Chain A
Amino acid sequence: MDRLASVLATLEAEGVTHVLGIPDNTSGPLFDALLTHPAIRLVIVTREGEAFAMASGLWLGGARPLVVVQNTGFLESGDALRGTAGRMGAPIPFLVTGRGYAKMAAAGVDRSTERTRDLLVRADVDSVALLTEPTLDAWAIPWEACGTGRDPAPAIAALLSRANELDRPCALLLTTGLA
């Protein structure tokens, strides 16, 4: 079974009812597959914060949603995530696909590097990758990373379980492909 098929099988097995978000190059194959999925409803939104609020409403209605956003859109979502799923204590799992990580690695930079003005404006570094993990921490989101060489399907299964166990929104930072 290929990676995408494993991910879809995981979502089905875990009872995910809705996937909400905006596609990027990493999540695009998943969105494509879900467009015609018979059981999981894909909801493409207009802005990522909308996905977190809608997912919170879906949870209130008894559904089991999964949010999928790029790290750029995650940064846009702060108040929606805090004020809906966070304040409600709703177990909303979400995937954050990581733009800029390859550039960061090529530039010899990691999360421990001081985020100076000179670093944030460098042309060979995408600042969103520098700010994603500190933002997850600052917003008190339990999260794990799934990087190159790791199979995303079991990591997504663990994410879904963790959100339920902790009864709060939890994230999986995905810097490897889904297909």
Chain B
Amino acid sequence: MLSRAQLLEPLARHRTDEVVVTTMSVTRPWGRLSSHDLDFGSADSAMGHTADLALGIALARPDRRVVCLNGDGSMLMTLGTLATAVACAAENYVVIVVDNGSYEITGNQPVPGAGRLDFAALARGAGFPRAFRFDDPEEFAAAVPDLLRAPGPTLVDVRVEAGHEGPISRTAKEQARYLRPSLADWSRSFRDALAST
């Protein structure tokens, strides 16, 4: 089992020019590690649709790797996206499922199938050529460069300890830069930043 830091710090260390899309319990922690113009916090947004949104970015910009830090509850809401990603042959798409077994934002109520679900197996069943499961911090940290670079689509199921992140808001007081503006304003600055690369 990984801590939140053991999941995010290796990703932040090896991230170069990838788009990173976050949601739910990793939104704030990622925003404390990164203030990149190509971070997109899918917060104050649609329930469960972050993986779809990230896949759309990946299709629009096949030259650019797109990493989606998704929740396990969120992934369960849109499992069909796994089939769509394979049908689209989205080689630049990496979805990392933050598998903490719970709806952390609302107080860690268990997701259906908590502790029994294997998202890597689900991804392989959908046709993902690369699907992995990690519950050891050192093995995960060692694998990150390959996870970020090799052609996919790639799904990474990471067993993570449940934490205590509360509901996400968008205010000027947020430490995470991408949570200070409205979703509409950040969308435009993100879009401009991506267009300029």
Contacts and interface: CB of A to CB of B under 8 A. Distances in A.
User: Do the two shown chains form a genuine complex with each other?
Assistant: yes
Interface of A: 17-18, 41, 43-47, 49-50, 52-63, 65, 79-84, 87-90
Contact of A84 (B53, B80, B84): B53
Given A43-B88, A44-B87, A49-B46, A87 B59 contact: no
Contacts of A49: 46, 49, 52, 78
B32 interface: no
B184 A83 contact: no
B122 interface: no
Q: Give the dominant DSSP class at A's interface.
A: helix
A82 B46 CA distance: 7
Contact of A61 (B44, B59, B184): B59
Given A54-B55, A61-B191, 20 more contacts: A43-B59, A44-B87, A46-B80, A49-B78, A50-B49, A52-B49, A53-B52, A53-B53, A55-B56, A57-B53, A57-B59, A58-B57, A61-B57, A62-B61, A62-B195, A80-B52, A83-B46, A84-B45, A87-B45, A88-B183
Q: Give the dominant DSSP class at B's interface.
A: helix
A90 B44 CA distance: 15
Contact of A53 (B56, B64, B184, B194): B56
Contacts of B58: 57, 61
Contacts of B61: 61-62
Nearest to A50: B52
Nearest to B187: A88
B78 A84 contact: no
A54 B53 contact: yes
10 contacts: A43-B84, A44-B84, A50-B81, A52-B49, A53-B53, A57-B56, A59-B60, A60-B53, A62-B60, A63-B56
Contacts of A82: 46
B103 interface: no
Given A62-B191, A62-B194, A63-B60, A84 B55 contact: no
Contact of B40 (A46, A55, A60, A90): A60
Given A18-B59, A63-B59, A46 B84 contact: yes
A62 B190 CA distance: 11
B168 interface: no
Contact of B56 (A47, A61, A87, A89): A61
A60 to B, nearest CB: 5
A18 B58 CA distance: 13
> What are the 10 A-B residue pairs with the smallest beta carbon separation, nearest first?
A57-B56, A61-B60, A83-B46, A46-B80, A53-B52, A53-B49, A54-B56, A89-B184, A63-B60, A57-B53
B54 interface: yes
Contacts of B88: 43
B84 A45 contact: yes
B46 to A, nearest CB: 3
A175 to B, nearest CB: 28
Nearest to A81: B46
